[in-house]
Structure 1
Amino acid sequence: MIHFFQQLTKIIFIFSLLLANIKHSYAIAANNSEIVDNITSYINNIKSIAVEFEQVDSNGNSASGMLIIDKPFKFRCNYYEPFPLLIVGNKNYVSVYDFDNKTLSRIKAKENAFYFLLVDGKFSDKFTILDTQDLNDNYIIKFHHHESNKVSQISFNKYSKQIQQLIIFEANNIIAINFAKSYNIHGIDKNLFILKNPKISDPPKRLDKRKLEKRFKKS
């Protein structure tokens, strides 16, 4: 349980931070600034989105699901069966439910890496841009996150204006997340971002793509 949660928080933290309202102030070479400016423009214009993803790693694990973000406070990382976890964040805390063990864990918002979702702020001191590339149809940025000491890489399609892939480099593992086309949403069921204590309430239900898409409207 702890191992799964630690791995997933790294993944969602990095991806969600890219969807936060970040102001661009990175110190990189002038000839690469256009790449970062294009990606930053996309990020700053995001309000509420849904995007499906496929996740694989070098240890042979795989999963799929849908990430729903409703800025500035809420997100839901909804893994499809058989992956056992559901992760939800709101203004007060981040919750993870394990369907196999039927347990719920919570972390106070200010005590975990997801706090960036709750407040606006400048995050330029948290990253170092290691490399930028203009490769065929994609802009590629490789960066180091100071707090987690992790190196990650984003591939951003310059024509579709979509993040296509996130790669996270770890000491003993490489995690690759491939994203489908994201779309703007509205009329989101706020219950998607609530996980009640299963000891005093009914446990959450698994939601597949069809059931999820009934909980919001595409813009």
Structure 2
Amino acid sequence: MQTEKGIKKAEKALASKKPELVTIEAHIMHATWKMNNTEKLKEEVVKDLKTRQENLFDRLRRDADKAQGNFTRDILIRTNVVNRKLDAEVDEKLQNVYQQLLQSGIDKHESEREARLKKTLASLQRIFPVKPINDKFRTFAKGAYLAVDVVQYEPAIERAIHHACGNALVCKTMEVARYVCYDKGQEVKAVALVLWKARSSIRVV
């Protein structure tokens, strides 16, 4: 009879602590919702949750110690099982909070990298402005071609190629280059590819 009373008393003591577990779970959910991406907050949240866990288990153990005077070995086994289960539940919740805090830090770093990349691209656009290609040079003279239409390049460096070439022309002969620059008075760079004695040479007008 005394053993049964002890068991009921222990179960009642454990049941009275369940609201505290609910409170801890609420704190965990609130901390997850309220967390920011600073290392200080991560440390404070984890430290606070661990402190609450330790205090709760200390009270559970003290209550169990008070009630175990006439407990049998069966009661002690049940208490240990309950404690281990509570430990596992709280540890799992703490691990989930830690992973969420860690992921928030990763997301923050990715956002910072994207912001730096956008800033760098904007700076490059200011340093290397790209003037629009003048389409008239595509059909300006027979045997003259825009360099940007002749050069083969990857799409990723299209802006750099346009900046480097501009309205420069690639001409089949020096006569075509002279016609564009001298006869027509166009202020553009004209490159003539001349084949002479089985060797190719480049002349710039």
Q: Which has the larger radius of gyration?
A: 2
Write 1 or 2 for the structure with the bigger share of strand. 1
**Greater relative contact order: 1 or 2 (C-alpha under 8 angstroms, separation 6 or more)?**
1
TM, length-normalised to structure 2: 0.24
Write 1 or 2 for the structure with the bigger share of helix. 2
